[in-house]
Structure 1
Amino acid sequence: MTSHLDATRESYDTVAEDYATRVGRLFDQEPISRAMLAAFAEQVRGPVADVGCGPGHVTAHLASLGLDVTGVDLSPKMIEVARRRYPDQRFSVGSMTALDLPDGELGGLVAWWSIFHLPPDVLPEVFAEFRRTLAPGGRLLVGFHVGDERLSPETAYGHPVSYDAYLLDPGVVAVLLGDAGFEVTARLTMEGRKWPQACLSARAV
């Protein structure tokens, strides 16, 4: 496992409990974001992966919209929290850089603010992996923070962390998705609490 993945996994193992409490509350206050998830759910046919699922709140929300969804996260502690909070849902430990899924298995994939810690030069590899797992016509929904900056916080959610985080240009992300075999079908930008936010919806071609 490469160093950025090690740092991300170890940091989220550390913050998992406090992260789950805070992020779940924030999600409940984001009707526009949930509307993007609802639109995604209407378009999907087949199983869905929530990649970088964290404590499982988005996985559970997608299931409540009628989707056959599995949550995947790099952090074993996050998966432990997710399984405890949502015992009726499926969760597994895994990396979005190498998903343990057959080619064309999925009808949909969600990466909900989970590409935040990927160095930009890794994004083409990850988007190619997303495309590999999706059937033709499969739907992708990606959410991320907007900007052009590398962040290196020393603490988060009341704990020391060692990860880097990256703000991304939606136009650049759209180009990378196109290069990976996706057609971007919708874009949403929002003002965020710290940084602007973007959601991109795409179809596997």
Structure 2
Amino acid sequence: MTDDGVLNAYSARAAEYTSVLGSIEDTHELDRMCIERWAKQISGPVLDAGCGPGHWTDFLHKRGVNISGIDLVPEFIESARSRFPEASFRVSSVRTLDLADGSVGGVLGWYSLIHLAPTELPQVLVEFRRVLSPQGHLLVGFFEGEADEPLDHAITTAYYWSVHRMSGLLQDAGFEVLDIETRHDHGSRPHAAIAAIARSGTSGPKHISPVS
């Protein structure tokens, strides 16, 4: 889906989204443990890519992480700056990060990639790899299911990804998968998280897997 489509859909419901899902108390305890554990490995600045209303950025900032949050939706960034004034936020797209090559030690992509069409995701992963230092850390969270299948998302079109497919795309983009977590809580869609590091000696993918 285009940036404009996602922007318009979330802008129209940003206040509602923030009130329902914009607090760290609204998140799963296991997700908090996963993200905090991941962040402890990182040296250097961290980017929360697609930070939404900013609660995960604030969560890690309060734990001493040098982190900034970006999001496509100005209403989210305005709310995040107001609610979490000690953290850093700016409007930006995950498709083209306004960062130098190798300039960050970690990228958090927590459910921020779900609206990318299957043909678009590989290049965004390459962009994440570009800004990460060698051995820099990436953590992605997503809905686990049949790869490339759309799902009935409350805001706008989103997609499932299988662990196998996401792992392959990460490897193609220049990452080494370190850890995989999956969970299926009653009444919610299956969840997956993959932690990976940027492979040394490569600044991008050897190839991009075809969409299947």
TM-score by length of 1: 0.91
The equivalent residue for 2:103 is 105
From 170, 185, 188, give the equivalent of 2:181.
188
Q: Deviations over 1:104-158 (max 9, x none)?
A: 00000000111110001111100000000000010000000111221355xx3xx
* Local SS of the residue matching 1:200: strand
- Which stretch shifts more, 19-28 or 130-139? 19-28
The equivalent residue for 2:20 is 22
Question: How many Å separate the matches in 2 of 1:90 and 1:9?
Answer: 20
Where do 5+ consecutive residues of structure 1 fail to align?
none
RMSD: 1.5
Counterpart of 2:123 in structure 1: which amino acid?
E
1:110-149 equivalences under 5 Å are 110-148=108-146, 149=149
The equivalent residue for 1:201 is 195
**Distance 1:4-1:21 versus aligned 2 partners, 3 A rule:** same
- The answer (yes or no) to whether the contact 1:16–1:81 under 8 Å persists in 2 is no
Q: Deviations over 1:172-203 (max 9, x none)?
A: 00000000010010000011443100010001
- The answer (yes or no) to whether the contact 2:52–2:77 under 8 Å persists in 1 is yes
Question: How many Å separate the matches in 2 of 1:196 and 1:123?
Answer: 20
C-alpha deviation, 1:28, in angstroms:
4.0
Counterpart of 1:180 in structure 2: which amino acid?
A
* Local SS of the residue matching 1:119: coil
Where do 5+ consecutive residues of structure 2 fail to align?
200-212
Counterpart of 1:151 in structure 2: which amino acid?
L
1:1-205 equivalences under 5 Å are 4-25=2-23, 27-148=25-146, 149-151=149-151, 156=154, 161=155, 163-192=156-185, 193-205=187-199
C-alpha deviation, 1:24, in angstroms:
3.2
**Percent identity of equivalent pairs:** 41
Counterpart of 1:114 in structure 2: which amino acid?
S
- The answer (yes or no) to whether the contact 2:137–2:195 under 8 Å persists in 1 is yes
- The answer (yes or no) to whether the contact 1:83–1:91 under 8 Å persists in 2 is yes
* Local SS of the residue matching 2:57: helix
C-alpha deviation, 1:84, in angstroms:
1.0
C-alpha deviation, 1:26, in angstroms:
6.9
- The answer (yes or no) to whether the contact 1:41–1:65 under 8 Å persists in 2 is no
- The answer (yes or no) to whether the contact 1:49–1:109 under 8 Å persists in 2 is yes
Counterpart of 2:180 in structure 1: which amino acid?
R
TM-score by length of 2: 0.88
**What number of residue pairs does the alignment pair up?**
196
